[in-house]
Structure 1
Amino acid sequence: MRIVFMGTPSFAVPLLRKLAREHDVALVCTRPDAVRSRGKKLEPSPVKTAALELGLPVLEANRMTPEVQDRLRAVEADVFCVAAYGCILPDPVLTMAPLGCVNVHASLLPRWRGAAPIQRSILEGDAETGVSIMRIGHGVDTGAYCAQASCAVAGKTADELTSELAELGGDLLVETLPALADGTAVWTEQDEALVTHAAKISKAELRLDPAASATDNVRRVLASSDAAPARCEIAGRPARVTAAACGAGCPDVAPGELVVQAGRVFMGCADGSLELLSVKPDGKREMDAKSWAAGQRGERGAWGRLE
Structure 2
Amino acid sequence: MRIVFAGTPPVAVPSLDAIAASRHDVVGVVTRGDAPLGRKRVLTPSPVAARAAELGLSLIKANRLRDAETEAVHSVAPDLGVIVAYGGLLRAPMLAVPRLGWINLHFSLLPRWRGAAPVQRAVMAGDTETGSAVFQLVEELDAGDVFSLERRSIGPDETAGQVLEALASRGAGQLASVIDAIADGDAIPTPQSGEVTIAAKLTIDDARLRLSEPGDRVYARLRGVTPEPGAFVLLAGERFKLHEARLARGADRLATGAFAARGGKVYLGTATHPLELITVQPAGKRPMGAADWWRGLQRPEELIAE
Instruction: Give the alignment's TM-score, normalised by structure 2.
Output: 0.92
Residue in 2 aligned with 1:194?
A: 195
Amino acid at match of 2:12: A
Cα 1:33/1:238, change in 2 over 3 Å: closer
Instruction: Find the residue that maps to 1:87 and give its secondary structure.
Output: coil
Give, in whole Å, the separation in 2 of the partners of 1:211 and 1:65: 46
Aligned to 1:152: 153
Matched, 1:267 2:265: no
How many aligned residue pairs are there? Answer: 304
Alignment-mate amino acid for residue 179 of structure 1? A
Which residue of 2 is the match for residue 302 of structure 1? 303
Contact 1:260 1:300 in 2 (8 A): no
Deviation at 1:236, TM superposition (A): 7.9
**Mean alpha-carbon deviation: is it higher for 280-289 or for 63-72?**
63-72
Q: Which residue of 1 aligns with 2:15?
A: 15
SS at match of 2:44: coil
Aligned Cα root-mean-square deviation (Å): 2.0
Following superposition, the deviation at residue 265 of structure 1 comes to 0.9
Amino acid at match of 1:169: G
- Mapping for residues 55-204 of structure 1, pairs under 5 Å: 55-154=56-155, 155-191=157-193, 193-204=194-205
Q: 1:256 to 1:32 in 2, by over 3 A?
A: closer
User: Quick one: distance in 1 between partners of 2:98 and 2:239?
Assistant: 52
What is the rounded CA distance, in whole Å, between the counterparts of 1:66 and 1:302 in structure 2?
A: 56
Inter-partner Cα distance in structure 2 for 1:299 and 1:28: 53
Per the alignment, do residues 167 and 139 of structure 1 end up closer, same or farther by CA in structure 2, a change over 3 Å counting? same
Aligned AA for 1:195?
Answer: V
Consecutive unaligned residues in structure 2, runs of 5 or more: none
Q: How far is 1:280 from its partner?
A: 0.7
**Distance in 2 (alpha carbons) for counterparts of 1:250 and 1:77:** 58
Change beyond 3 A, Cα 1:243–1:92: same
CA deviation after TM superposition for structure 1 residue 245, in Å: 1.1
Aligned pair in 2 of structure 1 residues 104, 252: CA closer, same or farther (>3 Å)?
closer
- Cα gap change, 1:145/1:301 in structure 2, threshold over 3 Å: closer, same or farther? same
The answer to whether 1:258 aligns with 2:259 is: yes
What per-residue deviation string (whole Å, max 9, x for no partner) do you get for residues 200-246 of structure 1?
Answer: 11212221233111112212221225652211135886410111111
Counterparts of 2:238 and 2:204, CA distance in 1? 18
1:221 aligned partner: 222
Residues 1:51 and 2:78 aligned together: no
Query: Is 1:4 aligned to residue 4 of structure 2?
Result: yes
Which blocks of at least 5 consecutive residues in structure 1 are unaligned?
none
Question: In 2, are the aligned partners of 1:260 and 1:299 still within 8 Å (CA)?
Answer: no
Give the corresponding residue for 2:30. 29
Task: Provide, for residues 27-84 of structure 1, a one-character-per-residue CA deviation record: whole Å limited to 9, x for no partner.
Answer: 1111221224443222111110110011111111233333322221221222111111
Q: Is the 8 A contact 1:209 1:304 kept in 2?
A: no
Distance 1:268 1:97, change over 3 A: same
Q: SS of the counterpart of 1:291?
A: helix
Q: Is the 8 A contact 1:263 1:294 kept in 2?
A: no
After TM superposition, give the deviation of residue 15 of structure 1 in Å.
0.8
Partners of 1:97 and 1:205 lie apart in 2 by 37
Amino acid at match of 2:215: A
Measure the CA separation in 2 of the matches of 1:79 and 1:39: 39
Moved over 6 A (4+): none
Read off the aligned partner of 1:172 and give its amino acid letter: Q
TM-score (norm 1): 0.92
Task: Give the Cα separation in 2 of the matches to 1:276 and 1:33.
Answer: 35
Q: Letter of the 1:16 partner, please give it.
A: L
1:95-140 residue CA offsets vs partner (Å, 9 max, x unmatched) = 3222210011111100000111111011001111111101111111
CA distance in 1, matches of 2:296, 2:236: 11
User: What percentage of aligned pairs have identical amino acids?
Assistant: 37
